[in-house]
Chains A and B, each alone.
Chain A
Amino acid sequence: MISPIISNTFRFLFLALLQVVVLNNVGLFNLFNPYLYILFILLLPFETAPFFVLLFSFLLGLSIDTFSSTDGMHTIACTFIGFIRPMIFLIITPRGGYEHQITPNLKSMGAPWFITYAIIMVFIHHLILFNIEVFRLSEFFITLARTALSSLFTLLLIILSQYLLSNSKKR
């Protein structure tokens, strides 16, 4: 078993690089653009102190901004979902609480819980990101459509990656 610090550092670097080199160029008609990198924030262990969750979300957003010249847009959205993560845990507590699980991933928490969690986090992140990027209300409905479609794309990738990677690992 790999130490959580090493595996999370590796995940941070891998997801950030994947996002800026590959996924920023993947999309269709300006509407679907996946932001898989927030999977890092989703998969931070339950026990991580809020201080570190916020700090890592901030750093992750900052590194994506650095590579895509977006001046703080990703940082704003990432820090926000890093902040609301504990509240979402409280809202969607599974029956029996969070006792023996370490990481909020699909395998340990089960598909319904994980997908609900992912939908909320991804949608809020994308909504903030796209609205800050456009920064005008006259295009609100187009932005909303882009948010919804991109969220679907991101969710699809998150769930796929969870199924592909969690089966090969033995804990």
Chain B
Amino acid sequence: MRNLGIFFIRYYSFFLFLFLEVIAFSMLFNSNNYQSASFFNSSNKISGKIFSISSNVESFINLSIVNDSLSIENARLKNQVLTERYSNKINTGVYTDTSMSFQQYTYIQAKVINNTILKRNNYLTLNRGRIHGIRKNMGVICGDGIVGIVKDVSDHYCSVISFLHKDSRISAQLNSSKDFGSLVWDGLNPKIASLRDIPTHVKVKIGDSITTTGFSSIFPENVMVGKVNSVSQKDGDNFFEVSINLSTNFSTLRYVYVVSDILADEKIKIEGGRIND
């Protein structure tokens, strides 16, 4: 017994090392649990504060770029407003019953206070949290396209898995033919993604736009993703791999919208608790 004690004291640094590594690895593997109590992520109070300060400095420097992108988005939205259009339709006396329809998706405006694009797995931090109605697994989009999925939420901040992540897999479709596949990021260029599982009989046009399918409760249908850049097929593979130019510019991301789907819980329940991207 005494020898055992001496043994432990002599090699205590090794056992301490093992102990600390076990803690670290358990953090790594527990991070995917739905209920994980995760204080150690960028949505906690201290890191949220520090990122708010640094992002204020940064946003002042990027002010002109942000203004430009917001005014472009405003113009695009104005074009969609019905009153701006000349309508040929005459009122035939049929009224739509508003009790038969309701708004399924609502959008919460948020500011990006931390963002990386240079790693294999990238994350963003937003200045909106639980008290603003943000929940785990909500989608995040911006004026140009998709951004990511909410990972952790605290009272005032949330941490978002960027689309630029090894595990991101988003269901997307070709705009012209409506054939869908899953969109993944290869990890090299933050402007390029690839759309997998497109069958070889489909005619893929270069420059065709790619949009989301709305199969998941995360993103609404027809959110812009990008444009087809090139098409390739690996030997012996029955599917095309389509290279996409992403429409979202992740490096200048400032203002984003968190998508809240009223029917999300109902849809997950009927699908048996699975959340698919």
Contact with A along B147-171 (1 / 0, CB 8 A): 0000110000001000000100000
B115 CB to nearest A CB, Å? 8
Select one of A50, A73, A75, A134 contacting B166, CB under 8 A.
Answer: A134
A6 CB to nearest B CB, Å? 22
Contact A142 B13, beta carbon cutoff 8 Å: no
Q: Which of B24, B46, B115 has the most CB of A within 10 A?
A: B24
Contact A72 B13, beta carbon cutoff 8 Å: no
Contact A69 B123, beta carbon cutoff 8 Å: yes
- List residues of A (45-98) whose CB comes within 8 Å of B's CBs: 50-51, 54-55, 58, 61-62, 65-73, 75-76, 79-80, 82-83, 86
B139 CB to nearest A CB, Å? 18
B65 CB to nearest A CB, Å? 15
Contacts A76-B21, A83-B13 given: A69-B151 contact, CB under 8 Å? yes
B9 CB to nearest A CB, Å? 11
Contact A142 B188, beta carbon cutoff 8 Å: yes
Contact B27 A68, beta carbon cutoff 8 Å: no
B96 CB to nearest A CB, Å? 45
A83 CB to nearest B CB, Å? 4
Contacts A17-B50, A33-B119 given: A72-B189 contact, CB under 8 Å? no
Number of A-B contacts (CB under 8 A): 121
Q: For residue B102, which residues in chain A have a CB less than 8 angstroms away from its CB?
A: none
- List residues of B (30-67) whose CB comes within 8 Å of A's CBs: 31, 38-44, 46-47, 50-51, 54
Q: Is B247 located at the chain interface by the 8 A CB criterion?
A: no
Q: For residue A54, which residues in chain B have a CB less than 8 angstroms away from its CB?
A: 13, 16-17, 20
- Of A24-32, A99-107, A109-117, A161-169, the stretch lying at the interface with chain B is A24-32
Select one of A51, A69, A82 contacting B42, CB under 8 A.
Answer: A69
Cα of A87 to Cα of B31 in the assembled complex, Å: 32
Of chain B, the residue at the smallest CB distance from A139 is: B187
Contact with A along B113-156 (1 / 0, CB 8 A): 01111111101010000000000000000000000000110000
Contacts A54-B13, A76-B21 given: A30-B187 contact, CB under 8 Å? yes
Footprint of B on A, CB under 8 Å?
Answer: 17, 20-21, 24-30, 32-33, 50-51, 54-55, 58, 61-62, 65-73, 75-76, 79-80, 82-83, 86, 130, 132-136, 139, 142-143, 146
